[in-house]
Each structure stands twice: as structure tokens, then as C-alpha cells.
Structure 1
């Protein structure tokens, strides 16, 4: 008689690994990935510093000090967003940089009222942002996926427009950068595929060196340390009326922060929770902006640059952006590193940025494809939001006759698109978690 079969031994319990966003990578793998994030976003803080330095006629020493402060703030902001402290920071793979529109508003305030008043305006705008955050939970229903998808699409298109002039400054190196990054992404696998943007930038830089098609520009000076200097324009002057443009920008940035947070949450596989995470994202922006106002910079905002890298590489760990933050702080404190970063040819940085911004725009299209039903209401919201977001790019002179507050509100593509999408969605009843009304 055949004995009955023994019951199978129970399988050993398996311990699930940490979520991808919490993955800790080996240092030798983390460092090049962190460097790729830095190189992808470095053009924005560098260009912002050079614009402010030119507008305020800063000396080379003043420019170096402002560059140091800006890089340190970008790095500290990345650490704050990546780790999160006391409900400040979303614990997502975020980078931080000076807001593009905020630079123009800062310079306009400085031209009309003085640099000290411009710094005071940054402080007032950051304080206002902190003050309104407790009300965000009541407003989150006005940010359904339709709003987020359209806003992300406009972010990508606007950023392509911003990066295009840098790429056009040297078409050959820019095209080499784009082509090399695309080929690496298509043909390579594993870690090498994850470094496709970095490889593309290296190929573009080699092209510049071999052809001499674009100049390498550095920050003058031979000092070893470049330390930030507080109150570079004197004690900040607080003027509510002068601060109005930057305060409006701070409020409008909430909509953009919502899009960034939802997009990055989806990219790392974490269920989006705007009511919890967006205030944490915006609170970190406000804290970094307060520090920027004391160090001579403009409003700091969470960056979209690195979202394209997260999508392209598939590396979702917030420890990578934390590593990028440490690299930025080191670069901000060491003048030789700062000069090396400033020497990156503009066409190379612009070409890499075009690749990443195109990925962001495509992500917005994918969000719309998944979430937006095909009816007249949603089509109207998408069409009018795109119109509001693209008019400042295609026809900026259209807003010239408007008063200053209206130009501030509608003359920048991303805030205008975000506010338009929110207003139209509320008007047509496209609230979060509800289906839109169909036309009769």
C-alpha cells in the first residue's frame, strides 16, 4: 500500500521590500544618478543667477556669492523635499530651483522699488504661501485629474520653449546631445539606460570641444570657497503693494505644485494624495523661499526638470534626489566646482532639457488619455486651458495693454493654464471624484 503523500511544507514568509520611492541604492550607483539630476536642472539656477546679476549690475564677487547661495538653496530644498521634516517636504524625488517667472517679477520689483524691496517681496510672498496652506484641503476638490493632466502638458510645452534658445545657440552639439540620449535610451539596458541623459550630455560636450562650436563660460575668480552672503542688498524692505506680483505668483504656484506632486507620485508608483502631500511640497517651497529672500535670491519652487529623468530611467528613489541635493550644496560651497558647472555649454544643457521636457509633455497627454472622458465639457476645458497656457508663449504682446496685476496673472503660461483649468472645471462641475455633466 502506497503511503499517503506528505503535506507540502509551508512556504517561508517573504518580507516585502521597501517601496521604490524608499529604495536605498549603493553609493557607486547613486552618485552618477544623482549627478544626472544635477546636470539636468543646473541650467535654471545658473541662468537665474546670471539674469539677476546682470539686472542688478552685481560685481563678479556678488555674482559668485549669489550663485553659491542659489546652489546651496537648491540642494537644501532637494533634501527637504526628499526626506520631509515636520510635514515640510513631500518625501518624493523632487528637486528645487528658482521660479522662472519669479526671476522676472523679482527684477521688475527691483527696477521699480530697489533690490532691498525685491528681497522683502520674496519674504512676504513666502509668508503668504505658508499662511494659506491650511486652507488647501478645502480647495483640493478643484484639482481633478483633468486639471492635472492639462497643467502637466502645458508645463512641458512651456519648458520646451524656455530651453529652445539655449539649444539653438549651438545646433550641432544640441542635436548630438538629443540624438545620443535617445539612442542610449532605445538601445541600452539597465544602469547604462538609466544614464542616457548624462551620456548624451557627455557626447554633446565632446562635440563642443572638438568643433569649437560653442564657448565654455565660467565664473571668474580663483577662490576655493564661495560662501553665501546674507542681506547682499541691505536689510530687506517690506512693501505690500510692491510685493503684490510675487504674492500672486506664490498663490498661483499652488496649482503648479499640485500638478508636480500628482505627476511625481504617479511616476514613483505612489497613490496620489494631494490633500496630504501638496501642502508639504508647498511648505518646503515657502521655507526655501524665505531663506532665498535673506540671501538675495527669488522665490524657490519645486522643479519639473527631474520628473523626466524619473520617467526615463525608472529609478524612483528619493535618496537619489537627496544625493543630488548634497552635490548641489558641495558645488555651491566650492568655487572650483561652481566654475566647472558654469562652464557647461548652453547648447548641451539645452539639448538635454528638451528631451526631458518633451517627456513631461507626453506624460501630461498620457494622464489626459487615462482620465478625461470624451465629451464637450472636458474638451472645452482642455482647449481653453491650452489656449491660456500657450498664448503667453506665442503672443506675449497680447497682454501688454492689461494692468500690471492682470499681466502677472495671465502673462505666464503655467499659472494661467492652471488657474483657467481650475476655474472652468469648477464652473462645469468637473470636480475630483465626480463624473462631469454631459451636455444635453
Structure 2
């Protein structure tokens, strides 16, 4: 693949849409438009995690807006590192980076624990980033521990666990005195219908950005009902820098740090599959050395996230799908997208506008976003052989059961040592640990070559969503 770009290219601009032929050089105007398209496709998912965590921790609206700005800023830096590359770091392929949903549940468990809080979240994110940098060369050897029956189960539980957030958003948000009011439910349902209609009848970019468009339309409707408060948008400055450690110095808790290190392993296994799938799409080979550079970028991006008040980062599958849709394989398109994200993170008015979106609007979008995560897990499990290997049924059944414990019985582990609560209160981590050990018990350890092929197939399944 020729992934160099000429800013002064005289080639005609590349049209936005599925009919675009693969290209290596992109005109400067098309470069900006294609980069913006990548940003818009991932934007709703990119800002979801700071909104979820900030509101779960009951932070002030200004602080939630700060989380959004920090997230966009760090998204931009992580994307530039991954796509442009640094010495020994970055896969130098068209990859957009964003906060992983896998970290949400354990971080909320930490943040809502009165003995831990936001400082421990950031300390654990920093440790997880350093851990990711150190273990990147070893991840290929860990692939046999994460066949589709394991990763499909984990991703399914991630989606199901997050659905609780989406459902509460749809009802107006936990703590809202009018929780469940018909107007909230109606607006959520309207947003959901808009997203479904755009997905069904839209094409190309419009269909890919259906969630973002649904949120914008829903916010307009919510404004007609007097549910949108733009006062903080008006008072927010147009420009401000994102300061490191804006919420104070990080604190470190061993169990919390180990918890996010486990999340980091899952994230890097997922990234491995994404990189292999992208290699197929772009016809650009990825060897072990290059894969390690890409995984190091995950670790460095997560470390930067902890320093700049945000969370663990991974490659976004919907953007990898967009590479296949547009046919544009130049990494400089996502470099442009990363630069746009970085600039957006320096505009507090934009973050305040995101924070002003009513929770009922986010509810309709959340049901789609989190449901698609669960559906991706189900799709991966669809490729698992349950007919000839009934042991796989036990792996999935028991692991999902473990993952549901914190969701259906929040006090189940109440009598356990307090230090273990961040681990025990995360259904995702319980499910991940159970799935890995059960698969080893029932199926044994596979080989690396098969694991790489399986990882690529499951990434292609995720990208299809």
C-alpha cells in the first residue's frame, strides 16, 4: 500500500461513499473531508464514556464537560501516535483511537467507592498504560487464551452490562425526580426510531453516522419540550487548553490497578484482531514487529489518557469498517481525523454542548450503541462450534452467569473484603476471568497461528457492525 500523501496533489477530490476506489494519495480538500467523516462516525461513541463515567460519579456539569474535552484531546493525540507513528510506536495504518467501553464498569465501581474515587481511576489508568507498553511484545503469545468463545462472551457481557446505563438514560437518568416520565420515554423512542430509519434508508456516510444524526435530531426535539439548558454553553470559553491532572494527583490502589491491567489485556487482544482485519482490507501486511508497535500505541494512548484526565484507549472498529466503505487506505486520512479531534478538545463550548444533551436523548442512542456491542459478541459466538464441542456451551453459559452477578445482585459480594470490590463488582472482569479459565479447563490451549486467524475473523465480525 502506498500510504504517502501529497498535500498539493492535483488529483480530483475523492468522493465520499462506498463507490470510492482504493487510493494512496488524497487531495488536501478530500483529506480534510474524509478525516472529518472518520470523526463524525466515531464521535457519539467517543464522547459516550466520559458522559457515562462523569454522570455515574455525579460530577458537576462543568467537570463532565471537562472530561469530554479531555477525551477528545487525548483521542486526537492517541490517533496521531497510532497513524502517524513514533519511533517504535504506532502501526502507521488508518486507525482512529477512542476510549474503550470495556473499562466503564470497573471504573464506575472504583469511582463510586468512597475509599477510592476519581484519583484511583486515573492512577489505575496510568498503571494500565505502562503495563500495556511493557507487555505489547507478549500479546501475540496470549492470543491462544482468547479464542472466539472467550472474546465473544466478554464482548456480549460488556454490551449487556452497559444496557443498564442506556435504559436509565432513556428514563431520564438515575436520580431524576421525574424518572420514567412519558416525555422522556417518548423522546428516547423517537431518537431510536430516527436512528433505525437512517440506518435502513440512508446510504454511505449518512448511514454510518446514524447515531450522531439521531442525537442531533433528538436534541432539537428535546429543546422544543424545554429540556435543553444551553446556559453553560453560552458561558463556556471558545478556547482553553487541556491541563494534565486537572482533577488532582492520581492515587494508586493495587487491586484497582490490576483490574484495569486485565482490561488492558482484553483491549489489546481486540486491537490485535482489528489490526489483522485492517491488514486484509488495505492489503498491507502486518508482521509481529509492526503489531507490537500498534499495541504499544494502545499502551501509550492509555498512559496519556491517565495524565490528561481520561481513560483507556483502543482502535475503533466502526472506523476500520469505514476504510472498507470508502476504499481510501491512506493513513493520512486518520492523521487528519486525529488532528480534528485534538482541535475539538480545545473548544470548551463544544464539550459544554455535548454535556447539555439530555439523558433521555442519549438513552435512545445508548440502546443502539450498547446493544450493538452485545450483538457483536453474539455474532462472534455465532462462529463458535457448539454442535461438535458442547463444552463451549458450558464456557459461555457459566461465564455469562458470572458476568450477570453484579448486574442482577449488586450486594452479592457485600461481605467480601472491601479491597476486592472493584474486581468483584465488574461483571466484565468476572466474565473474562471465568471464560479464560473455563476455556482452558474444557478445551485446553490452542496454537498461536490459529489464534491469529480467529482474532482476524472476529474483528471482521465486529467491523461488520
Same fold by TM-score greater than 0.5: yes
Gapped regions of structure 1 (runs ≥ 5): 1-16, 436-440
Q: How does 1:166-177 map to 2 (within 5 A)?
A: 166-169=169-172, 170-177=184-191
The SS at the match of 2:372 is: helix
- Correspondent of 1:335 among 340, 345, 348: 348
| Distance apart, 1:118 and its partner CA | 6.1
The SS at the match of 2:115 is: helix
What CA distance in whole angstroms lies between the structure 1 residues aligned with 2:61 and 2:230?
20
| Distance apart, 1:46 and its partner CA | 3.5
Corresponding residue of 1:346: 359
Task: Say if 2:430 is the partner of 1:416.
Answer: yes
Asked if the contact 1:151/1:259 (under 8 Å) is kept, the reply is: no
Asked if the contact 1:96/1:301 (under 8 Å) is kept, the reply is: yes
Task: Say if 2:264 is the partner of 1:253.
Answer: yes
Task: Say if 2:303 is the partner of 1:301.
Answer: no
Task: Say if 2:445 is the partner of 1:431.
Answer: yes
User: Given the superposition, is the C-alpha separation of residues 202 and 151 from structure 1 closer, same or farther in structure 2, using an over 3 Å criterion?
Assistant: same
Task: Say if 2:176 is the partner of 1:165.
Answer: no
Task: Say if 2:107 is the partner of 1:103.
Answer: yes
Asked if the contact 1:205/1:344 (under 8 Å) is kept, the reply is: yes
Corresponding residue of 1:208: 222
- Correspondent of 2:45 among 1, 24, 40: 40
Corresponding residue of 2:177: none
The SS at the match of 2:188 is: helix
The SS at the match of 1:428 is: helix
Q: How does 1:229-248 map to 2 (within 5 A)?
A: 229-232=243-246, 242-248=253-259
The SS at the match of 2:241 is: coil
Root-mean-square deviation over aligned CA pairs: 4.0
Asked if the contact 2:95/2:319 (under 8 Å) is kept, the reply is: no
- Correspondent of 1:383 among 383, 389, 397: 397
Corresponding residue of 2:384: 371
What CA distance in whole angstroms lies between the structure 2 residues aligned with 1:203 and 1:313?
28
User: Given the superposition, is the C-alpha separation of residues 22 and 427 from structure 1 closer, same or farther in structure 2, using an over 3 Å criterion?
Assistant: farther
Query: Which shows bigger deviation, 76-85 or 338-347?
Result: 76-85
The SS at the match of 1:388 is: helix
Asked if the contact 1:49/1:67 (under 8 Å) is kept, the reply is: no
| Distance apart, 1:412 and its partner CA | 1.0
What CA distance in whole angstroms lies between the structure 2 residues aligned with 1:82 and 1:164?
36
Corresponding residue of 2:115: 112
What CA distance in whole angstroms lies between the structure 2 residues aligned with 1:421 and 1:95?
27
The SS at the match of 1:302 is: strand
Asked if the contact 2:71/2:311 (under 8 Å) is kept, the reply is: no
Deviation digits for residues 204-251 of structure 1, max 9, x if unmatched? 1222122335655746744332212234466556x5xx3431233223
Q: In terms of Rg, which structure is larger?
A: 1
What CA distance in whole angstroms lies between the structure 1 residues aligned with 2:254 and 2:142?
24
Gapped regions of structure 2 (runs ≥ 5): 1-18, 173-183, 452-465
- Correspondent of 1:361 among 367, 374, 386: 374
